[in-house]
Amino acid sequence: MRILVVEDEENVANFIRQGLAEEGYVVDTATDGELALDYAQTYTYDLILLDVLLPKIDGRDVARTLRRRGLSVPIIMLTALDTVDNRVEGLDSGADDYLVKPFAYRELLARIRARTRTHQGGSEPNELEIADLSLNRLTRQVKRGDQPVTLTAKEFSLLEYLMLHPGQVLSRTQLGEQVWGYDFFNQSNIVDVYVGYLRRKLDDGQEQPLIHTVRGVGYKIAAEE
Ligand code: CA
C-alpha cells in the first residue's frame, strides 16, 4: 500500500516515513501543499496523511482541491490545532479523519488500517489469488498451496502490486515507482533483484511458475505464460 505523507517539518516527516516503511507501507513525502497536489495527481495512493499548516497551499485547501478533482482517496489530517472549529473545518474540507499532534504512533497506525479497510471495500479485494498462490492484504499472509511464505516488506509490496494486475505486463519503472516510491529513479537493477527473491520463495521447486519475464518489457504474474 502506498501512502503520501504531506508534512513540512522534516523531522516529523522522517519519523512518520520511517515508521510506516517498517510496517511495509510505501511512503512518498511532500513538503508543501503544491507538491502534495502534484504527487496526488501523478501517483495513485491508498491514503494521504495531510498536515494542516503547510507552505504554499494550506492542508485544508489541498483536501478541498483533491475532492473537487474527484479523488476519493482517504485523507487523515494531522495538526497541532486542537479546537472544535479546527476539527470541523478539517473534516468539512474533505478529510475523513483528524489526528491531533503529538499523537501516539499506535493510534496513527490503527487509523490508517481503519481508513484503508473501509476504502478497499470499494474496488480492490483484500484477498488476492493466482492459481494456488494467495495474498491477504490485511493480514499480510502469503501462501503457495497450503505453505505459508514469509516475505520482507518490499517483497510483499512487489508481489501485491503484481497480483493486483494479474496477466498484465508491468515495466521495471512501474514496479520500481510503486514499490520504492519516487525515490526510485531506474537507478539500478533493484526490481530484477527483488523479482529474483520472490521467484526463489514462490516458484522454486514448483511445477507451475507464476512470475514471468517479458523480455525487453518487464514482468507479469499469471497462471500461464
Ligand atoms: Ca506544518
Q: What is the pLDDT of residues 133-186, one digit of tens each?
A: 999 988 889 999 999 999 998 899 999 999 999 999 999 888 988 888 766 666
Going from the N-terminus, what domains does the chain have, and what CATH number goes with each? 2-120 (3.40.50.2300), 127-221 (1.10.10.10)
Strands 26-30 and 218-221: unpaired
175 CA to centre of ligand 1 in angstroms? 31
118 CA to centre of ligand 1 in angstroms? 27
Quote the cell numbers at residue 210: 507464476
CB 144 within 8 A of CB 202: yes
93 CA to centre of ligand 1 in angstroms? 17
125 CA to centre of ligand 1 in angstroms? 34
CB 172 within 8 A of CB 186: yes
Residues of the chain with pLDDT under 70: 118-124, 182-188
Best CA proximity match to 139, nearest among 24, 51, 36, 27: 24
110 CA to centre of ligand 1 in angstroms? 22
Query: Given 3-state DSSP classes, what are the helix, strand and coil percentages for the chain, each rounded to the nearest 5?
Result: 40, 20, 35
127 CA to centre of ligand 1 in angstroms? 37
| DSSP 8-class letter at 96 | S
Read off the pTM: 0.66
| DSSP 8-class letter at 23 | T
72 CA to centre of ligand 1 in angstroms? 23
**Structure confidence at residue 121 (pLDDT):** 47
